[in-house]
Amino acid sequence: MPLSKQQIQSIEEVLLSSLRKKFLNYNPEPGSMPFHTRLLGKDRMALFSFVHSLNTNFGTSIFEPVAKALAATNFQSALSQQIAGTQISSEAFLVIEHIMTGLTTANTNPDKPAETEAIRAVCQSGEMRTVKPTKIDIKLVAHDETIYLFDLKTAKPNAGGFKEFKRTLLEWVAATLATNPEANIQTLIAIPYNPYEPGPYNRWTMRGMLDLPNELKVADEFWDFLGGEGTYLQLLDIFERVGIELRGEIDAYFARYNRL
């Protein structure tokens, strides 16, 4: 289903606003790189520094607001930077530790539905402990009340970090169920694009820690989930159109560094 004109306009506005704000507030890093600068020019070095800076916050400044704009039409609610909850039961902590130990030692395979139900069974048992879990990048509530909590990651996350990613997903489940034991809760990792295209995404580093069908959405899997089939390809076209519209502003902005 194609995106509506309102969705397309909203995404374009997000992109234009984010990039123009970045230009307005951006100052290249002051570090001196005399050989690089003389070889490539001040404008290209400024562009290199800008792209590096943009990459560090692309998730919060671009992907999160775009995801919200897409999901707003298809979901009951779409929010960013949310908190799963402030308490987890002591028994749920023990279940999470048991799950993590089994996965770390490769004695068990990841099974998110079973893990969720194990946490649900003890979500309010024992002492309730105050916690400060990692913030949720994107929280969606579907029309059937299913809650989807997404942790947005870079295209090539550090393989060593998946143990903590998994723990975060389980803690979100426990914190949500602590206040709403009957909730239909899904917690997932989202990777906005596949750096290995046209080949498949290299998922082997996650296998054994994540339940891939139930805990991971990459590229079109993520964007099409938010906006409907074909959204990912439409989104790429939107980014290209906005880039063409801004090209004159971008060229003029970086050309000034050659005059400094």
Please tell me the predicted confidence (pLDDT) of residue 172. Answer: 98
Residues of the chain with CATH 3.40.1560: 75-229
Question: Could you tell me the fold of the domain covering 75-229?
Answer: type ii restriction endonuclease, domain 2 (3.40.1560)
pLDDT-based confidence at residue 256 (cuts at 50, 70, 90): confident
pLDDT value for 156:
75
User: Which residue would you say has higher pLDDT here, 54 or 195?
Assistant: 195
pLDDT reported for residue 39:
84
C-alpha to C-alpha distance for 99 and 83, rounded to whole angstroms = 23
Q: Can you give the pTM of this predicted structure?
A: 0.89
The CA angle 150-152-156, to the nearest 5 degrees, is 140
Mean pLDDT of 132-139: 94
Q: pLDDT tens-digit profile of 209-239? A: 999 999 999 999 999 999 999 999 999 999 9
